[in-house]
Amino acid sequence: MTNFFCNLGILWIFSCLLGIVLLAASSNKQNGAIISGHIAEEGQFPWHVLLRRDIEDELLCGASVISNKWVLTAGHCVDELDSVVLVFGRIELDVDDPMMTATKFHIHPDYNDNDLTDDLALIELPSVLNFTNNIQPIELVSTSEASNDFVGAKCYVTGFGRTSENSKENSEWLQWTTLEIINNTICADEFHEADIEDTIICSIGWNGTNQSPCDGDSGGALVWRNQANKFVQIGIHSFSKKKCSQFPSAFTRSIPQNAAIIHGDQASLGQYPWHVLIKRNPSDKLLCGGSLIADKWVITAAHCIDCRETVFLLFGTINLLGRAVNMTTDLLYSHPLFTPASFENDIGLIGLPIALKFNVHIQPIELVNSAEAQQNSFIDALTHISGFGSKYDQTTQPSPHLLFGSEEVVELSVCESRYAPVPQNFLCSIGYTSHNQHPCVGDSGGGLVWKNLWLKNKLIGIFSIHGAPCSRNPSGYTKSIPQSAAIIRGTRGALGEYPWHVILKQNPSDPLLCGGSIINNKWVLTAAHCIQCRDPIYMLFGTIRLLNAAVNRISKNLYPHPFFNPVTLAFDIGLVELNYPIEYNVYIKPIALITKAEADETDFIGVVTYVSGFGYYTDEMHELSPWLLWGVEEIINTSVCDFIYGPVLNSEICSVGFTAEKQHPCRGDSGGALVWRNKMRQQKQIGVVTAVKIKCSKYPTSYSRVSSFLNFIYNITGLNFD
């Protein structure tokens, strides 16, 4: 995966940066420099880092900033050192500010100082680096871009090393030059090697010049401009000959971050019919995995789809490059509380533009249900994983065939000891066999599958994090959402997760009348049937417990829609004016309403939405939930509601649960908000819960369409949401 995280972690970086450098016996392991270079301007190469052994040292190596906590360099630059001094954002050698001293190095576990195999390392910064115009991270090359051999490409390298082969002095100024990537066969001939693996990149001076890195520039970034005219790092300078300009230079490839099954077995056709191959576009090799859970839904990791506009999906195939049922979709829904830095809530849904036709090779997998999830910790359970990632720690290429492996679920503390802190909604696993089978780079988003007592496959987790090397570290999975997770047998909301939700009561001792949503510090939006003929209304804000003390208000004025029909529930929308304004905080915030322009762009059919409330949480027991629950709903054609509830107006929305068990709001949830994420990932209220049946899970839900009532809201409140 490329660019799914703003903050990188050691738990996945080495898998993203695997590279091998082969070195002839006569090659020079000294630190490199720029021959025939140009003086860099301030801010021209803001990722460049100057490494020193200590404050008194002048120059050790180069390096590159890849996040606010991580610096990438060559393994031989920090090997056997206890600490290193880093200077950021400077083009003068003798300037020391800003500077840090780092003591945590993560040299590639297979690094060999004799031949510089796997010559790369990560330096963990002691504190977060503040970015400025002169200090910025460099992006790593993407998966699709990395498939390029780059032969003939123009690249750039920077450093403070010697500017002449005859000089022993380092450059006083940061130098840069241009290089041309050459075929590794030519490189092998120059170094008198039988061959050089494709995990290194060789270069010579651009257009036949003698420009070259040399002593002092080891660890610096080899940078290339991609098709978007953006700099990306494709290599780390590893070694050059003593006569630097007369021989090619070698760079360890920097590899993008996706994931794979280490030591996996090849799957047979139809063995994992739910497995989905996710790509950025049809020409991309691999982005992530996913699991088919319905004819219009795929579940995956949020980091696989976050900040993306579209993905390309392939179904029912065990060959990476084989023909398969495929489609492109822009219906991407990351969990609303997904946090890239910590992998919290690393789960997402991909909606399909058309329903998928099942066959022997394409079948959905069931999510673990609530009862199974509550009765099992899954500790010691045997599980299965599948994916197209690389088969070995030492390789970087995706597997051409779908692989599978077995894993054993272990205590979360095993992952915490390696990756702390770890989200509490994680499952932790290790390889079940002595082969240490594990997912790795390329398998993110794939499903962790468990067989229940009836030997039925159930999805219990979505692959999220791994260590380096993958075969020696536990894997982390985000727990999959139980099938019945909704308002009926719903998922408990976290404090501050739905800060707009309001509890409406008839009196202070009443447990619950309805729900509502904050749209302004003086106004609450709800259903008309919740407030008609009731005055006053009592309200609680900022709580996820029904009986908990909370910020409270009493209504000043109630405004049910003037055309509200209590029999048909037409125009079932209303406003509550508070007796005095509420103060916003992390637990109390308004929800924005959908604009007319947004409403005109889509009919919302097939869109995933969220709803929250304290209403009944089972069909069998008519009991209010003591906790705020939330669920996921899919918008459907209003003709379904029309058939069940009678004539439905254009000002209404109809929805069903997004899984086979039909998640739904129920009695007590009326007036609550139906929430949608727009293209800018902003949460917008598009509906108000109105009609529910007694057997809530078996029937669709009807909502008042907010966009149809923007004028009503404006006329009462003066608030313009257009």
pLDDT confidence of residue 368: 82
Rounded distance between C-alpha atoms, residue 320 and residue 666, angstroms? 44
Q: What is the DSSP letter of 100?
A: E
Burial pattern 485-521, b for ≥16 Cβ within 10 A else e, equals bbbbbbbebeeebbbbbbbbbbeeeeebbbbbbbbbe
Pick from 185-194, 278-287, 391-400 the range whose average pLDDT is largest. Answer: 278-287
pLDDT in tens, 195-227: 666 668 888 888 766 666 766 678 999 999 988
* 64 a catalytic residue: no
Rounded distance between C-alpha atoms, residue 212 and residue 697, angstroms? 69
In the predicted structure, residue 563 carries a pLDDT above the cut 60: yes
Q: What is the DSSP letter of 206?
A: G
Whether the Cβ atoms of residue 262 and residue 429 lie closer than 8 Å to each other: no
| DSSP string over 428-488 | EEEESSTT--B--BT-TTPEEEEE-TT--EEEEEEEEE--SSGGGS-EEEEEPPPTT-SST
pLDDT confidence of residue 661: 46
In the predicted structure, residue 366 carries a pLDDT above the cut 80: yes
Read off the pLDDT band of 294 (50, 70, 90).
Answer: confident
Q: Average pLDDT, stretch 157-165?
A: 77
User: What domain count does the chain have?
Assistant: 3
Rounded distance between C-alpha atoms, residue 291 and residue 386, angstroms? 10
Same domain, 497 and 471: no
DSSP bridge pairs for 674: 611, 687
Q: How far is CA 679 from the centre of its chain?
A: 16
pLDDT in tens, 380-397: 888 888 888 766 555 557
More confident residue, 364 or 323: 364
pLDDT confidence of residue 477: 72
- Residue 5, in any domain of the structure: no
Pairing of the two strands 175-182 and 154-159: antiparallel
In the predicted structure, residue 61 carries a pLDDT above the cut 80: yes
Same domain, 539 and 454: no
Closest CA to 360 of 299, 312, 300, 315: 315
- Residue 10, in any domain of the structure: no
Whether the Cβ atoms of residue 704 and residue 526 lie closer than 8 Å to each other: no
Whether the Cβ atoms of residue 388 and residue 403 lie closer than 8 Å to each other: yes
Contacts of 194 (CB under 8 A, 6+ apart): 188
Q: Among 453, 481, 509, give the residue marking a domain's end.
A: 481
Contacts of 603 (CB under 8 A, 6+ apart): none
pLDDT confidence of residue 544: 81
HSE at residue 165, side-chain half, CA atoms within 13 A, is 11
What percent of the chain stands above pLDDT 70?
A: 75
pLDDT in tens, 444-498: 888 889 887 667 888 988 888 766 666 667 777 777 754 333 344 455 566 778 8
| H helix or E strand, kind and range, residue 492 | strand 491-492
Rounded distance between C-alpha atoms, residue 485 and residue 492, angstroms? 9
Pick from 155-169, 178-192, 549-563 the range whose average pLDDT is largest. Answer: 549-563
Same domain, 560 and 461: no
Same domain, 454 and 507: no
Phi, psi of 596 (to 5 degrees): -65, -35
3-state secondary structure 371-429: HHHHHCCCCCCEEEEEECCCCCCCCCCCCCECEEEEEEEECHHHHHHHHCCCCCCEEEE
Q: Which domain holds residue 133?
A: 31-258
Same domain, 312 and 443: yes
Which residue among 142, 171, 218, 390 is the active-site one? 218
Pairing of the two strands 366-367 and 457-465: parallel
- Residue 367, in any domain of the structure: yes
Same domain, 295 and 203: no
pLDDT confidence of residue 485: 30
Determine the longest span between alpha carbons in the chain, in angstroms.
94
Closest CA to 236 of 211, 212, 201: 201
More confident residue, 4 or 427: 427
Q: Could you identify the residue written with the tokens 């830095």?
A: 341
pLDDT confidence of residue 2: 31
DSSP bridge pairs for 581: none
Same domain, 147 and 218: yes
Pick from 33-37, 116-120, 589-593, 669-673 the range whose average pLDDT is largest. Answer: 589-593
In the predicted structure, residue 259 carries a pLDDT above the cut 50: no
Same domain, 424 and 434: yes
pLDDT confidence of residue 413: 83
pLDDT confidence of residue 547: 74
In the predicted structure, residue 524 carries a pLDDT above the cut 90: yes
pLDDT confidence of residue 685: 95
Pick from 123-127, 488-492, 646-650 the range whose average pLDDT is largest. Answer: 123-127
Rounded distance between C-alpha atoms, residue 115 and residue 293, angstroms? 48
Same domain, 97 and 118: yes
In the predicted structure, residue 305 carries a pLDDT above the cut 80: yes
Q: Average pLDDT, stretch 188-194?
A: 67
- Residue 178, in any domain of the structure: yes
192: exposed, middle or buried (Cβ count in 10 Å: 0-12, 13-18, 19+): exposed
More confident residue, 11 or 361: 361
* 263 a catalytic residue: no
- Residue 9, in any domain of the structure: no
Q: Among 241, 258, 275, give the residue marking a domain's end.
A: 258
More confident residue, 563 or 535: 563
Which residue among 48, 64, 76, 655 is the active-site one? 76
Closest CA to 436 of 377, 385, 381: 385
pLDDT in tens, 650-700: 888 888 765 544 555 666 788 999 998 887 778 999 999 986 555 566 677
DSSP bridge pairs for 154: 180
- Residue 24, in any domain of the structure: no
Same domain, 229 and 363: no
Rounded distance between C-alpha atoms, residue 342 and residue 347, angstroms? 13
Which residue among 119, 215, 393, 572 is the active-site one? 119
- Residue 38, in any domain of the structure: yes
Instruction: Supply the mean pLDDT for the chain.
Output: 78
In the predicted structure, residue 30 carries a pLDDT above the cut 60: no
pLDDT confidence of residue 328: 94
- Residue 183, in any domain of the structure: yes
Q: Which ranges of 104-220 would DSSP assign to H, the alpha helix?
A: 143-146, 184-191
Residue 563 three-state SS: coil
The lowest-confidence range among 252-266, 443-457, 500-514, 588-602 is 252-266
DSSP bridge pairs for 65: 71
CATH assignment of the domain containing 282? 2.40.10.10
Same domain, 476 and 489: no
In the predicted structure, residue 9 carries a pLDDT above the cut 50: no
In the predicted structure, residue 618 carries a pLDDT above the cut 70: no
Q: Among 429, 463, 481, give the residue marking a domain's end.
A: 481
pTM > 0.75 = no
Read off the pLDDT band of 316 (50, 70, 90).
Answer: very high
pLDDT confidence of residue 17: 42
Same domain, 328 and 376: yes
* 119 a catalytic residue: yes
In the predicted structure, residue 509 carries a pLDDT above the cut 60: yes
| H helix or E strand, kind and range, residue 314 | strand 311-315
Here the tokens at position 107 are 């040299």
